[in-house]
């Protein structure tokens, strides 16, 4: 899809960002509009977003990568990911459902074992494992790193 543009988020985008993130059922915590890149159509409709999220332990995460359902599989998430990675500090981390791991390997991310994770991700991984066990969803959380 060539008829979208990427731009830094504006404060007026925050409600749309929050709604999109919640609708895709990804982690809705730590949403701060100044850290986001958004994709919008030529008529100004926000169709996707993603952020670089710093953590107190010094790690940086690509987070909140979400695309409106009607605009998926058109290269928009790839464009946002590439833009976020361009100037991001390394190492760079992300969390995703295990079935998405192969997608992120194309961008030089690799899966981490718990002992390799920074403290923030280790805590989230333990919590997600407990939740997955209790919910028996059949998927798990994958923590990945790009150097």
Are both 59 and 102 inside the same structural domain? no
Q: What is the tens place of the pLDDT at every residue in 98-140?
A: 889 999 999 999 999 999 999 999 988 888 766 554 455 567 7
Last residue of a domain, one of 48, 64, 89: 89
Residues 78 and 97 in one domain: no
Domain boundary among 41, 68, 89: 89
Same domain? 82 vs 101: no
Q: Is there a single domain that holds both residue 30 and residue 40?
A: yes
Instruction: Based on the fold, state whether residues 14 and 76 are members of the same structural domain.
Output: yes
Same domain, 139 and 71: no
Q: What is the model's pLDDT at position 26?
A: 86
For residues 9-17, average pLDDT: 97
Supply the range of the domain harboring residue 109. Answer: 90-147
- How many distinct structural domains can be found in the chain? 2
Distance (Å) of CA 38 to CA 10, 15, 79, 119, 132: 9, 12, 10, 29, 30
Give the mean pLDDT of 20-36: 93
State how far the Cα of 28 lies from the Cα of 91, in Å rounded to an integer.
23
Contact present, 65 and 25 (Cβ < 8 Å): no
Q: How many CB atoms lie within 10 A of CB 58?
A: 10
Q: Are residues 79 and 117 in the same domain?
A: no
Cβ pair 120, 107 in contact under 8 A: no
CATH number for the domain spanning 39: value is 3.40.630.30
**Measured between alpha carbons, how far is 6 from 76 in angstroms, rounded to an integer?**
9
pTM metric for this prediction: 0.89
Do 110 and 41 fall into the same domain? no
Write down the residue that tokens 């690799």 correspond to: 110
| Same-domain pairing of 84 and 95 | no
Q: Mean of the pLDDT values across residues 65-83?
A: 96
Extract long-range pairs of 81-87: CB within 8 Å, 24+ residues apart. Answer: 81/50, 81/107, 82/107, 83/6, 83/37, 84/37, 84/50, 84/51, 84/52, 85/146
């Amino acid at each position: 899809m060539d008829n979208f543009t990427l731009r830094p988020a504006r404060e007026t985008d925050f409600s749309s960002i929050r709604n999109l993130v919640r609708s895709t059922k990804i982690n809705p915590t730590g949403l701060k509009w100044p850290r986001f890149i958004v994709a919008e159509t030529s008529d100004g409709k926000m169709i996707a977003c993603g952020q670089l999220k710093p953590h107190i332990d010094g790690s940086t995460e690509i987070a909140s990568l979400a695309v409106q359902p009607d605009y998926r599989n058109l290269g928009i998430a790839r464009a946002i990911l590439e833009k976020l990675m361009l100037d991001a500090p390394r190492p760079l981390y992300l969390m995703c459902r295990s079935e998405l791991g192969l997608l992120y390997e194309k961008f030089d991310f690799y899966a981490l074992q718990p002992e390799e994770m920074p403290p923030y991700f280790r805590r989230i991984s333990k919590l997600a494992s407990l939740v997955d066990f209790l919910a028996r969803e059949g998927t798990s959380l994958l923590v990945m790193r790009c150097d």
